[in-house]
Amino acid sequence: MRDLSLNTALGLPVNGGGVFLQADWPASPRVRTLISTRQGGISQGVFASLNVGAHVGDDAAAVAHNRALVEQQAGRALAYLNQTHSTTVVAADAALAALEKGEPLNADASVGCDGSAACAVMTADCLPVLFCDRAGSTVAAAHAGWRGLAGGVLQNTVAAMPVAPLEIMAYLGPAIGADAFEVGQDVWDAFCLPMPRAEAAFTDIGAGKYLADIYALARLALQDVGINQIYGGQHCTVLERDAFFSYRRDGQTGRMVSAVWLE
């Protein structure tokens, strides 16, 4: 039997054989979300148990089964991407078509306007960001590791949405927390040299090392393009061991998925 004690404490509902979160934001009823945890699948060992990453060394049949569980819960096909820490944004329907051909698109964000596919990104410490507009006419999902975040993946995602930034809200999904994300001088330089106010998101711990707050950095990037409705950002994938996969903590591990779509 699965030990869901921590997940129960976190308020994670158990549905469809898996354990899932939903974005807590004042979105239109048309906007639906799903954020998987590590609980509720069939993968074994370091991938236990709801791993949806097909690129991490897990058994392919187990990954396919886990993805099917997630899609059953969503009631919609998920447009998985071949994520490369880029700033590339694609259309979700095009991403789904490529995935069905066995050729997932190289991208780190997708935008959807017709409900035919769920925008989806996989993470295991990097930051998943979900977007929608107030009217519920468009949605998007972005994978923001520090490289993509510094490079502008969130700004590019907003620019690809056919609505004004003031109409957009964002949800920051589970990522590595500020107490666990130790980085070097290169990461500080990538953010703080072009944007000095980003220094507030870093704590100097000496010897050229810092603790970085990826949630705060994402908020700065979003605010710079006019998005003020920003929600989420309360989890830590490293510390919440029973709930989330963490590459920083475990090395070889599984991936969660964060998805958003229109009904």
70 token code pair = 């997630």
Gap between the Cα atoms of 13 and 8, Å rounded: 7
Residue 240 φ/ψ, nearest 5 degrees: -90, 70
Q: In sequence order, which residues have a C-beta less than 8 Å from that of residue 261 and are 6 or more positions away?
A: 31, 32, 33, 74, 76, 112, 115, 117, 118, 119, 139
Class of the domain covering 5-175+230-262: alpha beta
CA 154 – CA 108 distance, rounded (Å): 10
Q: Per-residue confidence at 13, pLDDT binned at 50, 70, 90? A: very low
Q: pTM for the complete prediction?
A: 0.94
SS3 63: helix
Q: What is the pLDDT of residues 14-27, one digit of tens each?
A: 444 578 999 999 99
Convert the pLDDT of each residue in 176-234 to its tens digit: 999 999 999 999 999 999 999 999 999 999 999 999 999 999 999 999 999 999 999 99
Q: Which residues of 177-213 are buried (b: 16+ CB within 10 A; e: fewer)?
A: bbebbebeeebbebbbeeeeebeebbeeeeeeebbbb
Sign of the dihedral defined by the CA atoms of residues 194, 202, 181, 214, in that order: negative
With beta carbons less than 8 A apart as the criterion, state whether 80 and 90 touch: no
**Hunting for tokens 């993946």 — which residue is that?**
153
Neighbours of 102 (CB within 10 A): 6
